[in-house]
């Protein structure tokens, strides 16, 4: 039983990792579109860019931590 549970967890963790990457890709696509609209204001574009990168880094680190 414990072995079968481990086997089930492996593909599940891989699948969740792939899903998180797909979501991140979708989010990154939405950000540039919003950025283009904000480019006219300029100041907000610079303000929004750094927190966005930080969020991506946190998600990737969280995923790696869960896999380990």
Q: 36-59 pLDDT, tens per residue?
A: 555 555 455 555 555 555 555 555
Rg (CA), the chain: 17
Over the stretch 14-23, which tens digit does the pLDDT of each residue have?
555 555 555 5
Rounded to two decimals, the pTM is: 0.12
Cα–Cα dist 42/22, whole Å: 29
CB 38 within 8 A of CB 44: yes
**Total of domains in the chain:** 1
3-state helix, strand, coil in the chain (%, to 5): 90, 0, 10
Domain range enclosing 60: 2-67
Residue 62: predicted pLDDT: 58
The per-residue pLDDT of the chain, averaged, comes to 54
pLDDT reported for residue 48 = 53
Percentage of residues of the chain with pLDDT beyond 90: 0
Q: 1: helix, coil or strand?
A: coil
């Amino acid at each position: 039983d414990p072995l079968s549970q481990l086997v089930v967890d492996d593909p599940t963790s891989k699948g969740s990792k792939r899903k998180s990457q797909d979501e991140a890709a979708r989010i990154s696509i939405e950000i540039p579109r919003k950025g283009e609209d904000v480019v006219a204001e300029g100041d907000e574009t610079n303000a929004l860019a750094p927190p966005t990168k930080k969020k991506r880094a946190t998600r990737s680190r969280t995923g790696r931590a869960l896999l380990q």
